[in-house]
């Protein structure tokens, strides 16, 4: 039956209540969808933070770590409060070289150059651990020095001109020594044991380096396996950002100790008699 207000063939208009119902049905899912999207972001945020921290810790543990410079012992190469990045995988591909600036652990060997107050509670201890891991605060057991001698080297102070010598070759250290410092104000004469390093700070007058530990096992040298990695760049402050390269004086060919070339020397020593015997044997056959 057709109502009196509606003519045949005309489109039926929805009443007001029907319009409101349709509007609610079409708008509610949209509003609900927005709420759901916003809620999912906040649910995912803690997961993202945890993943970021885990990745950062993995990188710190195995690849690159930031370190805070707590003292003046490496001035003016590194200043107090500088931050450096340390490559932790480089020594898996090459040996430690003279002139490298290395970070190493002094745990159970060297006394700390500085003392940190013990955390007052577990929360403070946690934040110190995080700060140390990301190079925001110093690690009490970590040291940063320059490698002067490697295993097998004869390191001595000093020659007639007051220079440190390595395997009889004098080092020209003016490019990195703290202005006004002499190469060393302490006498030493050591053959660096294999698997160990002789290390010194660039600010020689204040650095408690290998010279200050000559009475310790190893005669002041440190074990290679205590090295964390090579400091290769200053990243903070930005005004001091630069790479840390090996000074030219360490490229002198005469620095190479006999120990470095021992396999080659031994090979020649064995080869020469064999060649002579072979020549005599061939001469007799003729």
Residue numbers annotated as active site? 73, 145
| Alpha-carbon gap, residue 68 to 82, rounded angstroms | 6
Whether the CB-CB separation of 202 and 146 falls below 8 Å is answered with: yes
From the list 60, 46, 129, the residue with the least C-alpha distance to 88 is 60
Token pair in block for residue 164 = 């440190």
Token pair in block for residue 282 = 């061939």
Omega cis (within 30) before 31: no
The pairing of beta strand 165-166 with beta strand 154-157: antiparallel
């Amino acid at each position: 039956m057709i109502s009196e207000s509606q003519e045949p063939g005309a489109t039926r208009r929805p009443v007001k209540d029907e319009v409101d119902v349709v509007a609610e049905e079409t708008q509610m899912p949209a509003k609900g969808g927005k709420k759901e999207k916003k809620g999912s972001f906040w649910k995912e945020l803690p997961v993202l933070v945890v993943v970021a921290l885990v990745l950062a810790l993995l990188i710190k543990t195995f690849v690159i770590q930031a370190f805070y410079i707590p003292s003046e012992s490496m001035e003016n190469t590194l200043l107090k409060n500088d931050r450096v990045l340390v490559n932790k995988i480089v020594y898996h591909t090459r040996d430690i070289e003279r002139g490298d600036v290395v970070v190493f652990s002094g745990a159970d060997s060297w006394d700390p150059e500085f003392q940190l107050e013990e955390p007052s509670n577990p929360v403070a201890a946690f934040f110190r651990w995080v700060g140390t891991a990301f190079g925001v605060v110093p690690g009490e057991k970590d040291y940063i020095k320059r490698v002067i001698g490697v295993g097998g080297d004869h390191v001595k102070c000093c020659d007639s001109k007051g220079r440190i010598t390595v395997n009889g070759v004098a080092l020209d250290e003016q490019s990195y020594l703290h202005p006004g410092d002499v190469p060393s104000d302490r006498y030493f004469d050591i053959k660096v044991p294999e698997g160990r390093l002789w290390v010194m700070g660039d600010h020689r007058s204040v650095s408690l380096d290998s010279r200050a530990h000559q009475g310790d096992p190893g005669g002041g040298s440190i074990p290679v396996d205590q090295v964390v990695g090579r400091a290769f760049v200053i990243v903070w402050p930005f005004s001091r950002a630069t790479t840390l390269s090996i000074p030219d004086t360490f490229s002198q060919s005469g620095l190479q100790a006999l120990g470095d070339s021992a396999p080659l020397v031994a090979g020649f020593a064995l080869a020469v008699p064999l060649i002579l015997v072979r020549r005599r044997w061939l001469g007799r056959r003729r």
